[in-house]
Amino acid sequence: MKTLVIAEHNSENLSAATLSVIDAAKKLGRDIDLLVANNSCSSVLDEAKSVEGVSSVLDFSHEKFANEIAEDIAACVVSVKDDYDFFLTSSSTSGKNNLPRVAALLNIQQISEVTEILDEKTFKKPIYAGSCIATVQSTQEKNALTIRTTSFEKANAAGGSAEVITKDVPETESRKSGFVKNELTVSDRPELTSADIVVSGGRGMQNGENFALLEAVATKLNAAVGASRAAVDSGFVPNDYQVGQTGKSVAPNLYIAVGISGAIQHLAGMKDSKTIVAINKDEEAPIFKVADYGLVADLFEALPDLESKL
């Protein structure tokens, strides 16, 4: 039996998240195949076969994969189910959308957001937004895991020479949904959940215009910009900036929290960051309890100062 990794890509490049999933897959000690559902994306297939540790690339090519519909992806996975006893993908919005559909069709209880693989049946995963860590053990022969990519390294993008196998794309007869449009955030910045550095603002930013101060620092650091729920609820920035229990979980190398008090819901989404900086004028703010470096200062002075020194 082998491990099947469902690849994520943007029709041009394989996503960095997929490299992390392949790293996680190696810990299961099986041959790893990579399923690439695509619309004749040769550059993605080239990248896929070059990843170190991949045995075969399953090329499911069809024009319907210009966009990704969970029903179609699930049908591809189910069509090759007999060769695999592990089905892995990342816990991105794409992985979260697709894998439970696959798992249910295969009568598998999926394990979500795996942060550690202890053995082939035993895994660690955060629960209650990271307030607790559960060690869970599967009694199933086949397992489906979404991988929290920030907890794993990335497999080498080069050095592999996998065989590309062309697969027949199953008809999804009962497909009743269709793609209408994408409105992807146009930004030169890295994506929030995969960025190396994140600069986040909270209620202390006072309004949306002041986020320009954060943006300036983020630009210097090539960082993503995030926000606390308080900032989102106050309408300073859109909801997709939100880091925390009900928003996105991030674990960058450097997380700079500016004007964020550090409510439980926010800490839950960022406390696995490697280095945390807090800038807040209230020295009692709970954020300082998790910060490696705390600066008690007025952010309206500190941010321009910081920007000028980077």
Q: Is residue 240 at the binding interface for other proteins, with CB under 8 A as the rule?
A: yes
CB nearer to other proteins: pick between 84 and 123: 123
200 backbone dihedrals φ, ψ, rounded to 5°: -120, 145
Which residue in 201, 203, 194 sits closest to 222, CA to CA?
194
CB nearer to other proteins: pick between 110 and 261: 110
Q: Is residue 275 at the binding interface for other proteins, with CB under 8 A as the rule?
A: yes
**Shortest CB 138 distance to other proteins, Å:** 5
Q: Rule CB under 8 A: which of 209-238 touch other proteins?
A: 221, 238
Which residue in 7, 189, 197 sits closest to 94, CA to CA?
7
CB nearer to other proteins: pick between 53 and 100: 100
Q: Rule CB under 8 A: which of 154-173 touch other proteins?
A: none
Residue from 39, 83, 165, 289 in contact with other proteins (CB under 8 A): 289
**Shortest CB 301 distance to other proteins, Å:** 9
The one segment of 20-28, 29-37, 66-74, 162-170 that binds other proteins by CB under 8 A:
66-74
Using DSSP, state whether 122 is helix, strand or coil: strand
Structural tokens at position 58: 């399953």
Q: Rule CB under 8 A: which of 194-213 touch other proteins?
A: 197
Structural tokens at position 134: 């559960």
Pair 2, 30: CB distance under 8 Å: yes
Q: With the CA atoms of 144, 127, 25 and 58 taken in that order, what torsion angle do they form, in degrees rounded to the nearest 10?
A: 40
**Owner of token pair 């928003």:** 247
CB nearer to other proteins: pick between 129 and 164: 129
CB nearer to other proteins: pick between 118 and 165: 118
Structural tokens at position 285: 């703010």
Q: Is residue 39 at the binding interface for other proteins, with CB under 8 A as the rule?
A: no
Q: Rule CB under 8 A: which of 100-129 touch other proteins?
A: 100-105, 107-113, 122, 125-129
Pair 32, 54: CB distance under 8 Å: yes
Which residue in 222, 227, 221, 229 sits closest to 200, CA to CA?
227
